[in-house]
């Protein structure tokens, strides 16, 4: 009997603790629109700034390397592989075929700012839609990257005739 009374008290206390308010919405009344005047003490400025005129441009000629040093990552097992590829040649990396069109670098700095034209395809055979095709930049690999679930490939640097003789 005490349990039944306690259960009734607990359920009644929840019902008495709630307040339900019912409001009717008038479909004929329009919402109020308040137009505020700008504060004269606040300074307004344009988001577009005048940058001035360009005084000079820096042009650095690029030269073609003999090939490229690439790095591949197998995300499934964490294996990292570095491989050399000559211009116009292909290599298999896991399930991907990596074709190097050419690698270019600044004339005065063969180790920096290398960029390579790569075509990356699933499997050995050429497909209509490659997984990646375009220029990859060594200093900014995320700028134009391979979007693959298992593999990552990026450019490290260009090979030059002098670096090929040194090996």
Residue 167 lies in a domain: no
- pLDDT, averaged across the chain: 83
Residue 137 lies in a domain: yes
Q: Give yes or no for residue 40 having a pLDDT over 90.
A: no
Burial class, 83, CB count within 10 angstroms (exposed 0-12 / middle 13-18 / buried 19+): middle
pLDDT, tens only, 54-113 = 777 777 889 999 999 999 999 999 999 999 999 999 999 999 999 999 999 998 887 778
116-147 b/e (C-beta count within 10 Å ≥ 16 → b): bbbbbbeeeeeeeebbbeeebbbeebeeeebe
Residue 123: DSSP 8-state: S
Q: Report whether 38 contacts 59 (CB < 8 A).
A: no
What's the pLDDT score for residue 67?
A: 95
Residue 153 lies in a domain: yes
What's the pLDDT score for residue 8?
A: 72
Beta-bridge mates of residue 97: 92, 121
Residue 151 lies in a domain: yes
Q: Which domain holds residue 114?
A: 62-162
Average pLDDT over every residue of 143-151 = 92
Residue 60: DSSP 8-state: -
Q: Which residue has the higher pLDDT, 112 or 13?
A: 112
What's the pLDDT score for residue 16?
A: 61
Number of domains making up the chain: 1
Residue 157 lies in a domain: yes
pTM of the model: 0.62
């Amino acid at each position: 009997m005490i349990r039944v009374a306690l259960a009734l008290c607990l359920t009644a206390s929840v019902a008495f603790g709630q307040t339900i308010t019912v409001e009717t919405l008038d479909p004929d009344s329009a919402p109020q629109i308040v137009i505020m005047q700008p504060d004269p003490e606040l300074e307004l400025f344009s988001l577009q700034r005048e940058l001035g005129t360009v005084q000079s441009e820096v042009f650095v000629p690029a030269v073609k390397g003999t090939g490229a040093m690439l790095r591949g990552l197998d995300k499934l097992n964490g294996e990292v592989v570095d491989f050399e590829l000559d211009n116009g040649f292909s290599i298999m990396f896991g399930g991907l075929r990596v074709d190097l069109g050419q690698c270019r670098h600044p004339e005065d700095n063969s180790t920096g700012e290398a960029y390579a034209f790569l075509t990356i395809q699933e499997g050995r055979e050429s497909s209509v839609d490659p997984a990646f095709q375009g220029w990859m930049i060594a200093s900014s690999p995320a700028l134009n990257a391979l979007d693959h679930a298992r593999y990552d490939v990026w450019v490290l640097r260009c090979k030059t005739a002098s670096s090929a003789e040194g090996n």
